[in-house]
Amino acid sequence: MPEGNIIHRLARVHDRWLTGRRFVADSPQGRFVEGARAVSGRTLRSVEAHGKHLFYGFDGGVRLHVHLGLFGHVRHYGSAAPAPSAACRLRLASPFATLHLSGPAACELLAREEEAALRARLGEDPLRPDASVERARERLCRGRLPLALALLDQERVSGVGNILRAEALFLTRLPPLLPAGELEAADFRRLWTTLRGLLADAARDGHIVTPGAPLVPECVAGRKRAERFCVYGREGQPCPHCGARVRRQALAGRSLFFCAACQGVDAPARRPRAQTPRDGARRAARPAATRSGGRRPSRASRV
């Protein structure tokens, strides 16, 4: 599934290339006939991304929501577009630009109230200028869910996928299994800043490059040499920071990559909580027998 950087890049390309054009729309696949009819003949006025979702605004208040999901993809053509495939859900055609959308998880028209409700459910997007860091922290840092799982919850933080969570957790040296509710404020700020930087660079460049990542050998199939990761997809290879072997662990059906040495995975997952004055007062008020584990204090301790 494309991560937020790809969706934001698509939104920027579509905003530059498609906004202001009037399109004829149809649904070659036949699953979006009514929606295509409502869009056809209208001019595209805006394109926005929020996490992994795209929102297109047409004349007359018509709003199109697209979520590519696992199998969706978009193909762009200039003046000479080929015939669409049988899987093409939506075709937007004009004399100068044509778009073919195939296999999306969602392709639907939304009223403004429906769009607002959908956006309200989504977590804060690090790439959006209106993102609230405080709301992001409030949503992410709640409960006992492991941090690595919380980062993939699109209602907590929007736009983060498997690659970005592995690389961001590595760069911030955070244990992936740390309960999200135990993430300290300073660590959250470092994580948020790191995510925003990785997403922004990847949206600009079209691929993810983690700072300090080793070059990709030519023999690695299925990987672009421009992509460079520190831990993602590098199980058994040396960590670029400490030289320990990168590990992979299955977590909720997804592969989690990490360096146990750098990220403190071999240490207890629960971090000790800082002592407060109230904690000390409570311990001082407890009976001596309770503080010593239920045994009578020795004669030496009574003296």
Q: What's residue 151's pLDDT?
A: 98
Beta bridge partners of 53: 50, 67
pTM of the entire structure? Answer: 0.83
Residue 2 annotated as catalytic? yes
Beta bridge partners of 58: 44, 62
Residues of the chain with pLDDT under 50: 268-303
Q: What's residue 300's pLDDT?
A: 33
Active-site residue (options: 2, 146, 176, 179):
2
Residue 52 annotated as catalytic? yes
Which tens digit of pLDDT belongs to each residue from 258-293? 999 999 886 544 443 433 333 444 433 443 333 334
Active-site residue (options: 63, 190, 196, 254):
254
The proportion of the chain whose per-residue pLDDT surpasses 70, expressed as a percent, equals 84
Q: What's residue 57's pLDDT?
A: 98
Q: How far apart are CA 143 and CA 71, in angstroms?
A: 32
Q: What's residue 33's pLDDT?
A: 98
Which tens digit of pLDDT belongs to each residue from 111-133? 999 999 999 999 999 999 999 99
Active-site residue (options: 9, 52, 228, 234):
52
Active-site residue (options: 3, 115, 124, 167):
3
Residue 121 annotated as catalytic? no
Among candidate residues 234, 189, 166, 218, the one with its CA nearest the CA of residue 3: 166
Q: Which domains does the chain have, with CATH numbers?
A: 4-121 (3.20.190.10), 133-263 (1.10.8.50)
Q: What's residue 286's pLDDT?
A: 42
Q: What's residue 271's pLDDT?
A: 42
Q: What's residue 216's pLDDT?
A: 79
